[in-house]
Structure 1
């Protein structure tokens, strides 16, 4: 069994955190060439390349990100020792890095991550962003999974894997009107103010198609690309809001909002996007396993 050279590991750790051979060499008071030799020795010992050079930047490979996680743990061992001697529990946690579209339902994110929330051995890092930015982070191994309501395009260079987690129903919801007439779809859409997702949303495209087929031009009072904001608008507006019920689940259960119409054959899909890795994250595997044998046409497991 090979034994790890911790001096080499510390040099790698410094370069990984600095993101630059030059800055790390200055910090360690070494020449760049000497530091580069030590990194190559560590890579040879581990049998894996730890960095890719992108322009002038050093970017961690998948093996490099795993090595950095372990190096962080190794070099925090002194703090853990002091914690133990002082009667405080040592912090030995696994890390899961999650990227989620800025516009994605917060309730759905919560349901996906719920099994890990509150676990003392788990640290969750959740980042929001655009699809393009998050996929770039996934490809660079900076995050482990992207949560999205659309699948990622695949090609030979970036073989992303789209895990369909759930197909959620889409409804028209609004504040209760106990004395009002019964809502009729699509007839009442001629006079009913409506709040809609933005034009780049799949469910908006499908809704617009339904309206076109019915010959109706709806009265649009707001177009919102953020589901959290759409939820707030639904609470405040006197009109109806097109939204997956999971987004306003709490409002529906507390009767702040009511479901006026469940849209036929109209759903929003939720995906976990990953890429094939030689060293998969075990925490992510636990989460995805919950969906392997479930029906995607039902709500996400609670």
Structure 2
């Protein structure tokens, strides 16, 4: 029994098709079929029912699949462990970042990680925080920078970078501009400009309003905080963001604390508890980049 036979077996089982499995492992279909037949002969049992269009597992195949995956995972862990010790890390990391969020220390961490581990291919995509969290959970992403409401997602490890209350930002001529602070009920009496559902700030606003039986009138949405603030500055509504997000428009908008929005808006890094060596190395670079001396 060879490792490649187990790899081909798992590929056919997951694709339910010999042709797609062959494309996945980059050999010919006849090569995959020959290796599977050889594996079946060695095991003394048919692993696939080939009578239908799809390649479906037999009872023996289903029993073998769990162990084949375990063997392949173990072999990969051995390779990664050796690579980590020798400093020759190889592989890929898929990272996510909430749309419209520019965090310089993260970019510094990625740059220093690339210099230290040039053999790791890194991809970075933007998206809504809730979707990014789901992708980290599923394994589609290794790591993500996300906005959250109140706490880290269950089942994931993470590091909170920023925890801030909600604020409203209005132009000087707005009816709320003369107030020292506002309540959610006061805010809900006016058109609001906010980030879209799926972002941490919006989750805090919606949850805080729901707890009081309020329905915010969000008339305009934008993924980037500067766009939210610019719309508010033009008189199109009261912006609702976290405190530090309003700083670039301090000369154009009046910032008001929202006194009864008790849940903090968080910006956090999240990752799977089963992080591999490459991700652990990246996290070490993040720790250095986000250390207080670099803030």
Find the residue that maps to 2:23 and give its secondary structure.
helix
Which of the residues 141, 145, 161 maps onto 1:165? 161
Which residue does the alignment assign to 1:76? Answer: none
Structure 1 residue 100 displacement after superposition = 3.1
The alignment yields a C-alpha RMSD, in angstroms, of 5.2
Which residue does the alignment assign to 2:273? Answer: 276
Find the residue that maps to 2:276 and give its secondary structure.
coil
Which residue does the alignment assign to 1:222? Answer: 219
Normalising by structure 1, we get a TM-score of: 0.53
1:202 matched to 2:203:
yes
| Alpha-carbon spacing, 1:172–1:61, altered in 2? closer, same or farther (3 Å) | farther
| Alpha-carbon spacing, 1:106–1:131, altered in 2? closer, same or farther (3 Å) | closer
1:185 matched to 2:178:
no
| Alpha-carbon spacing, 1:36–1:208, altered in 2? closer, same or farther (3 Å) | same
8 Å contact 1:195–1:242 — kept in the other structure? yes
Which residue does the alignment assign to 2:48? Answer: none
Normalising by structure 2, we get a TM-score of: 0.54
Structure 1 distance, partners of 2:74, 2:37, is 21
Structure 2 distance, partners of 1:249, 1:62, is 50
| Alpha-carbon spacing, 1:142–1:211, altered in 2? closer, same or farther (3 Å) | closer
| Alpha-carbon spacing, 1:142–1:134, altered in 2? closer, same or farther (3 Å) | same
8 Å contact 1:65–1:141 — kept in the other structure? no
| Alpha-carbon spacing, 1:261–1:276, altered in 2? closer, same or farther (3 Å) | same
| Structure having the larger proportion of residues in helix | 2
Structure 2 distance, partners of 1:190, 1:25, is 56
Structure 1 distance, partners of 2:289, 2:111, is 21
What does 1:63-212 align with in structure 2 at a 5 Å threshold? 96-102=93-99, 106-107=101-102, 110-116=103-109, 118-119=111-112, 121=115, 124-129=122-127, 133-135=131-133, 137-139=135-137, 141-150=139-148, 153-154=153-154, 159-175=155-171, 182-186=178-182, 189=187, 193-197=191-195, 201-205=202-206, 208=209
CA offset digits 1:103-158 (Å, max 9, x no partner): xx513xx245132355562664222345665455434544221222235654xxxx
8 Å contact 1:173–1:260 — kept in the other structure? yes
What does 1:224-243 align with in structure 2 at a 5 Å threshold? 224=221, 226-228=223-225, 230-243=228-241
Structure 2 distance, partners of 1:194, 1:38, is 66
| Alpha-carbon spacing, 1:222–1:114, altered in 2? closer, same or farther (3 Å) | same
Which residue does the alignment assign to 1:21? Answer: 21
8 Å contact 1:198–1:204 — kept in the other structure? no
How many residues get paired?
233
CA offset digits 1:43-100 (Å, max 9, x no partner): xxxxxxxxx979xxxxx969759979x99xxxxxxxxxxxxxxxxxxxx998643123
| Alpha-carbon spacing, 1:195–1:292, altered in 2? closer, same or farther (3 Å) | closer
Find the residue that maps to 1:234 and give its secondary structure.
helix
8 Å contact 2:204–2:265 — kept in the other structure? yes
Structure 1 distance, partners of 2:285, 2:188, is 44
Find the residue that maps to 1:165 and give its secondary structure.
strand
Which residue does the alignment assign to 1:289? Answer: 287
Structure 1 residue 33 displacement after superposition = 4.2
Structure 1 residue 241 displacement after superposition = 0.7
Q: Which runs of 5+ in 1 are unaligned?
A: 1-6, 40-51, 55-59, 72-91, 295-299
